[in-house]
Amino acid sequence: MEHGGDFDVIPLLAAEIAQDSTILCFDEFQVTDVADAMLLRRLLMLLLSADHGVVLFATSNRAPDDLYLNGIQRVSFIPCIQLIKRQTRVIYLNSPTDYRKVPKPISSVYYFPKPGVKWDSKINQANCKAHVKQWYDYFNAENDSDKVLSDYQLEVWGRKIHVPKCSPQYVAQFTFNELCGTKMAAGDYLTLANSFQSFIITDIPYLSVNLRDEVRRFITFLDAVYDAHGRIAVTAAAPFKDLFVEPEDLKSGNYQLFKKQIDKGKEETFEDDELVVKHGFDKSIAKKASMFVNDEEKFAFARALSRLAQMSTTDWIDNVREIH
């Protein structure tokens, strides 16, 4: 804006990083869309060049050759993959144990109605209300003030995030639609995750391919909260493993199904799926992940279900982080 017209910031960004740092670290390095691919290609090719000499250190769920697999205009990203392979030593860490699956005590942070109980019934709504109050009070227990704020605001890059109900820095409460049905992005969720220890998400409906954008946002939110070791409690239409269904099975309102979901052995068709063979997820998770076309999104979805299981353990709930 200062210099007028279009201005290429990538060379300046590369020079600034190289001036301040000798090593660039990425945790869970991934490439999910064409914009990321093009930006990363130009940035890394400058940083790893002899002119800047920055060292790349990264962990990833993808080997370099599998980055941005089947992505749009992937051929333009191939030179970056070749550079990564040439400039780094690639090590395959094959652990036989998924520590998120090690059995731990399960807490009651996730509420959903029992079979046969309708979502909008008086008993379910009363149970939801009691569940939310119980966990709000628990998450807010160390707060010396009993004050609960409405329409609290956080600032991200010059704009406001509205938090409908919260007790800063302890707990924030959203409906699923408030959190994932609006145009929030990764920066918003990172700010929230770094501003509150715990979150209560209410009224999570059944989710289908018709709500793919909402599912993507929920996954992004979960990733931010998980990485910050935050806690969540929810009220939902069903357990997370049963929450993702076909659109034709949904009744109006997305909280009831026309019929009980029966797989009838269809999961067997996913036994050779990469999520099962390469990453060790269940076939049922691989089947639900098939709502996504992009391989990175499929993996992110499957990982989210695994993380949700871990985040429901008492070990996770009891070990809250401090926010300064």
User: What is the Cα–Cα distance from 270 to 267, expressed in whole angstroms?
Assistant: 6
pLDDT of residue 266: 46
Q: Residue 115 — very low, low, confident or very high, per pLDDT cuts 50/70/90?
A: confident
| Mean confidence (pLDDT) of the chain | 86
Two structure tokens written together for 208 = 């289908």
pLDDT at 131 over 60: yes
Once rounded to an integer, what is the mean pLDDT over residues 271-280? 73
Q: Do β-strands 55-58 and 23-26 pair in parallel, antiparallel, or remain unpaired? A: parallel
User: Model-level pTM?
Assistant: 0.70
Two structure tokens written together for 56 = 């790349």
Between 264 and 150, where is the model more confident?
150
Q: Residue 303 — very low, low, confident or very high, per pLDDT cuts 50/70/90?
A: confident
Q: How many CB atoms lie within 10 A of CB 61?
A: 14
Q: With pLDDT > 90 as the criterion, what percentage of the chain qualifies? A: 46
**Backbone torsion region of residue 138, taken as left when φ is above 0, otherwise alpha when ψ lies between -120 and 50, otherwise beta:** alpha
Per-residue pLDDT of 163-195, as tens digits, reads 999 999 999 999 999 999 998 989 999 999 999
pLDDT of residue 299: 81
pLDDT of residue 7: 78
Per-residue pLDDT of 37-88, as tens digits, reads 889 999 999 999 988 999 999 998 888 998 888 888 889 999 999 999 999 9
DSSP string, 198-225: EEEEEEE--B-GGGHHHHHHHHHHHHHH
Is the alpha carbon torsion for 147, 191, 71, 23 positive or negative? negative
pLDDT at 264 over 60: no
pLDDT at 267 over 50: no
Once rounded to an integer, what is the mean pLDDT over residues 275-304? 75
User: What is the Cα–Cα distance from 301 to 292, expressed in whole angstroms?
Assistant: 9
pLDDT of residue 97: 67
Domain ranges (residues) in the chain: 10-87, 100-318
Cis peptide before 153 (omega within 30 of 0): no
CA distances to 40, 141, 263 from 235, rounded to whole Å, are 39, 20, 25
